């Protein structure tokens, strides 16, 4: 599986959070 796609533990939530924040910068949802 691709690295970083499937992550276990609280780190996954942090990565998703950062990704969402990054997307918000480019698009207003």
Angle at 23 between CA 3 and CA 21, to 5 degrees: 85
Predicted confidence band at 8 (pLDDT cuts at 50, 70, 90)?
Answer: low
Looking at residue 16, what is its pLDDT? 87
Q: Is 10 exposed, middle or buried (0-12, 13-18, 19+ CB in 10 A)?
A: exposed
* DSSP for residue 13: H
Flag whether pLDDT at 4 surpasses 60: no
Q: Do 15 and 4 contact (CB within 8 A), yes or no?
A: yes
Looking at residue 12, what is its pLDDT? 76
**Residue-wise pLDDT tens digits, 9-25:** 677 788 888 888 888 88
């Amino acid at each position: 599986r691709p690295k970083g796609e499937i992550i276990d533990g609280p780190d996954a939530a942090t990565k998703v959070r950062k990704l969402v924040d990054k997307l918000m910068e480019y698009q207003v949802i």
